[in-house]
Amino acid sequence: MSWNNLYPKENNLVKLSIEHGGVIKPLIIPGDETGGTGLCNASIYLDEKEGLLVNIRHVGYVLHHVEFNQKYWGLWGCMQYVNPENFIYLETTNYLCHLDEDLNITNYNKIDTSKFDKKPLWDFIGQEDVRIFRWDKKLYTCGVRRDVDNIGTGRMEMCEIMYDDIKGVTEITRDRIEVPEDESYLEKNWMPILDMPYHFLRHADPVELVKVDCVNKSCKVIVKKPNIDKISSKLNSGDFRGGSQVIPFGEYRLCITHEVFFPWHPVGNEKDAHYYHRFVFYNKDWDIVKISKGFKFMDAMVEFNCGLVEYGDDLLITFGYQDNAAYLLKMPKIVLEKIEYEKL
């Protein structure tokens, strides 16, 4: 089966949402603050204390995408990182933003991580693709960091942050979580389960659920489904990777996953990267009971979701576009009845 059949181009979630009364908003931090480089991969959260919050990833580069029959240049083939002069690293910083009821940014603060920062030992610097949430009255970011050794080993880090009207946003704890398998090179995209403190979906399919111990900086496997239950294999699709937080949703738990397909670029015989997403519904036993067909948000090659909120009659979904822009989609829940689902 071809990837075009697996992921039909007409599955554009933003377009479908707007047709049913939805709204799409860019999430913008002024260029004099960011230097004009990319904003992407935002994570939204409805906080009991602070209201609607969004973490926006700021990257110190612009990602240039070569599409269709254009010629490309550089070692990265079809994707090229364009850095400011004399800066060769791929650095991430994060901004915590407050939103008003109209989903506009009312203030933004760069998260101060200086208390724990050390000299980076690898080219990818900072905490990447953060999900934001609150457990036990503590506000956390959780994302991958790869700059602590010279080979780019990736581990999820849980960081408690504190917001102050005067001091801004400060990282006050940082815990790097080790995994049972010592040989694991890259851990990323764990999805926090909002109604189960310190539990994450480490793998979406087949399910592996872990509980994190921040004191010992470790995790323990709580649920692990056998490979025979792997739905992506039955669909002949890409592996389901983490995306949003996992939220309670009626009798289910709901999240958005992503998968990546690598067709060959028509010029130069190089791999391209196309990202697709799915809505995934789990029952109380962590069985997948419903899963949408793969969709794009706005038909870009690289789109990446990190946030999902139930908000009255809508779902609020945040995602990155081409590593260069961040968006918030207000999607009426009725759209869940209009999209296509896989036959399980």
pLDDT digits (tens, 9 = 90+) for 109-123: 999 999 999 999 999
Structure tokens at 29: 């931090």
pLDDT average, residue stretch 4-22 = 80
Percent of the chain with pLDDT over 90: 75
Which sign, positive or negative, has the C-alpha torsion 137, 139, 145, 149?
A: negative
CA distances (Å), origin 54, targets 35, 37, 48, 227, 303: 20, 19, 14, 35, 17
Residue 162: partners with Cβ closer than 8 Å, 6 or more residues away: 139, 169, 170, 172
Predicted pLDDT at 1: 38
What is the mean pLDDT of the segment spanning 301-330? Answer: 96
Q: Check residue 118 and report its DSSP letter.
A: -
CA distance 67 to 267: 10
In whole angstroms, give the CA distance from residue 319 to residue 193. 19
| Beta-strand relationship, 138-145 and 155-164 | antiparallel
Q: What is the rounded average pLDDT of the residues 139-161?
A: 97
pLDDT at residue 66 tops 70 = no
Picking from 204, 213, 202, the residue whose alpha carbon sits closest to that of residue 177 is: 213
- The whole-number average pLDDT for the span 88-92 is 85
Q: Please give the structure tokens belonging to residue 245.
A: 């937080």
Task: With beta carbons less than 8 A apart as the criterion, state whether 171 and 138 touch.
Answer: no
Q: What is the pLDDT of residue 180?
A: 84
pLDDT of residue 2: 45
**CATH architecture under which domain 3-337 falls:** 5 Propeller (2.115)
The winner for highest mean pLDDT among 2-16, 61-75, 228-242 is: 228-242
155 pLDDT band (50/70/90 cuts)?
very high
Tokens (6 digits) for 289: 């009971």
Q: Which of 294, 262, 319 is nearest to 44 (CA)?
A: 319
Single-letter code of the amino acid located at 337: E
Total-model pTM: 0.93
Residue 308: Cβ within 10 Å count: 28
Asked if pLDDT for residue 73 goes beyond 60, the answer is no
